[in-house]
C-alpha cells in the first residue's frame, strides 16, 4: 500500500483522540531539559503512530521525537511529533496538536496536523493543495510587514545561548502589528497556512516540529525556508521562516540584517 492523504489524516485523528482524552488529567512529567517536558501522553500517542506505521510500512525510515530514528529506506521518511506543545498541554493550555508528515524521494508529499480540542484537521498533499477540515486554505497577502501579524517561538536553551531570538523578537515587534507566541511550532505553521497569521519564524527546531507545517504553508501558496533563506531546513536545523512570497522576502531581509 502507498501512503495516502486519507491514511495520514485518519492516523492524526486517532492520535489526537489520545491527546484529547488525556487532557486535563494528572500527568507523569519527565524532564528532557528545564522547560522541555514529556508526559505519558506523548509516549502513548507515539506508540499508536509508530505501531501503525511499522505494521503498514515496515521498510520505511521514521524520525519521531521521543524515540528518535527508526532506520529504514531513506526514499520513504516519516516525521512524527506525537504531541507538539507539550509545555502547554502539561499546564492545561489548549494549544497543542499531533503532527505527521511523509516524504518520498527527498520531497515532502503528505502532511496532517490535528488539533483535537478545536477539532481542526490541517492537511496537505504536494501539488494538490492544503485544507482545513476539507476546505481549501490560502496564506494571506498583507500589503507589507508593517500591516502583518506574526508568530514566533523561543528555543529551550534561551537562558544559556546567545542565539535566543530576543533581537529578532524586538526587531519584528517594532516593524509589524504584533508578534504572538503560541507554544506549538506545528500549529504556528498551520495558522500561517490558514491565513490567521501572516508570518512565522523560529531559530532552532527539529524536523518533526516543522515537516508537516512546512508542506501545509507551501501548498497554501506560501514560502517556507530556513531563517536565512536556506532551501534545506528539515535536516540541518536552520530554523524556519514561513509567509506569503512578498512577506517572506521582507522578513528575510530583517533576519539577514541580524545574522
Size of the site for ligand IPD (CB under 6 A): 13
Least distance to Ca ion, CB of residue 253, Å: 28
Least distance to Ca ion, CB of residue 59, Å: 25
The 3-state secondary structure of 207-248 reads HHHHHHHHHHHHHCCCEEECCCCCCCCCCCCCCEEEECHHHH
Q: What is the greatest pairwise CA distance in the chain?
A: 51
Query: Backbone phi, then psi, for 258, in 5-degree steps?
Result: -100, -10
| Residue placing its CB nearer to ligand IPD in the complex, 78 or 125 | 78
Q: Which of 22, 153, 213, 222 binds ligand IPD (CB under 6 A)?
A: 153
| Residue in this structure with the C-alpha cell 530554523, named with its chain if needed | 239
Q: Buried b / exposed e across 121-135, counting CB within 10 Å, b at 16+?
A: bbbbbbeeebbbeee
Other CB atoms within a 10 A radius of the CB of residue 159 amount to: 9
**Cell numbers given for 19:** 491527546
Q: Which of 192, 205, 215, 252 binds ligand IPD (CB under 6 A)?
A: 205
Least distance to ligand IPD, CB of residue 21, Å: 19
* Residue 66 contact among ligand IPD, Ca ion, none, beta carbon within 5 to 8 Å by kind: none
| Residue placing its CB nearer to Ca ion in the complex, 81 or 219 | 81
Question: At 204, which helix (H) or strand (E)?
Answer: none
| Residue placing its CB nearer to ligand IPD in the complex, 76 or 172 | 172
By CB under 6 A, residue 244 contacts ligand IPD: no
Query: Backbone phi, then psi, for 184, in 5-degree steps?
Result: -145, 105
| Residue placing its CB nearer to ligand IPD in the complex, 116 or 155 | 155
| CA distance linking residue 238 with residue 230, whole number of Å | 7
Q: Which of 46, 60, 64, 81 binds Ca ion (CB under 5 A)?
A: 81
Q: Which stretch binds ligand IPD (CB under 6 A): 44-52, 129-137, 183-191, 241-249?
A: 183-191
Q: Which stretch binds ligand IPD (CB under 6 A): 82-90, 110-118, 231-239, 243-251?
A: 82-90
Which residues lie across from 152 on neighbouring strands? 201
**Cell numbers given for 3:** 501512503
By CB under 6 A, residue 209 contacts ligand IPD: yes
* Positions in the binding site for ligand IPD (CB under 6 A): 65, 81, 84-87, 153, 155, 183-185, 205, 209
Amino acid at each position: 500500500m502507498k501512503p495516502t492523504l486519507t491514511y495520514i489524516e485518519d492516523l492524526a485523528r486517532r492520535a489526537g483522540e489520545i491527546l484529547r482524552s488525556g487532557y486535563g488529567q494528572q500527568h507523569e512529567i519527565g524532564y528532557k531539559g528545564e522547560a522541555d517536558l514529556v508526559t505519558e501522553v506523548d509516549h502513548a500517542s507515539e506508540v499508536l503512530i509508530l505501531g501503525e506505521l511499522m505494521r503498514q510500512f515496515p521498510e520505511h525510515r521514521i524520525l519521531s521525537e521521543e524515540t528518535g530514528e527508526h532506520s529504514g529506506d531513506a526514499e520513504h521518511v516519516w516525521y512524527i511529533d506525537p504531541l507538539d506543545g507539550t509545555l502547554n498541554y502539561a499546564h492545561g493550555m489548549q494549544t497543542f496538536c499531533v503532527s505527521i508528515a511523509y516524504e518520498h524521494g527527498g520531497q515532502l508529499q503528505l502532511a496532517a496536523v490535528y488539533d483535537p480540542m478545536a477539532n481542526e484537521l490541517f492537511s496537505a498533499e504536494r501539488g494538490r493543495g492544503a485544507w482545513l477540515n476539507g476546505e481549501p486554505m490560502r496564506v494571506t497577502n498583507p500589503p507589507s510587514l508593517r500591516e502583518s501579524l506574526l508568530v514566533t517561538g523561543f528555543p529551550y536553551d534561551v537562558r544559556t545561548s546567545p542565539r535566543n531570538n530576543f533581537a529578532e523578537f524586538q526587531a519584528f515587534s517594532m516593524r509589524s502589528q504584533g508578534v504572538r507566541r503560541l507554544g506549538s511550532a506545528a500549529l504556528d505553521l498551520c495558522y500561517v497556512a490558514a491565513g490567521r497569521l501572516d508570518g512565522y519564524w523560529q531559530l532552532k527546531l527539529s524536523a518533526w516540529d516543522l515537516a508537516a507545517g512546512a508542506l501545509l504553508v507551501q501548498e497554501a501558496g506560501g514560502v517556507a525556508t530556513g531563517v536565512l533563506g536556506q532551501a534545506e531546513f528539515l535536516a540541518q536545523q536552520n530554523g524556519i521562516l514561513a509567509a506569503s512570497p512578498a512577506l517572506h522576502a521582507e522578513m528575510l531581509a530583517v533576519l539577514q540584517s541580524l545574522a
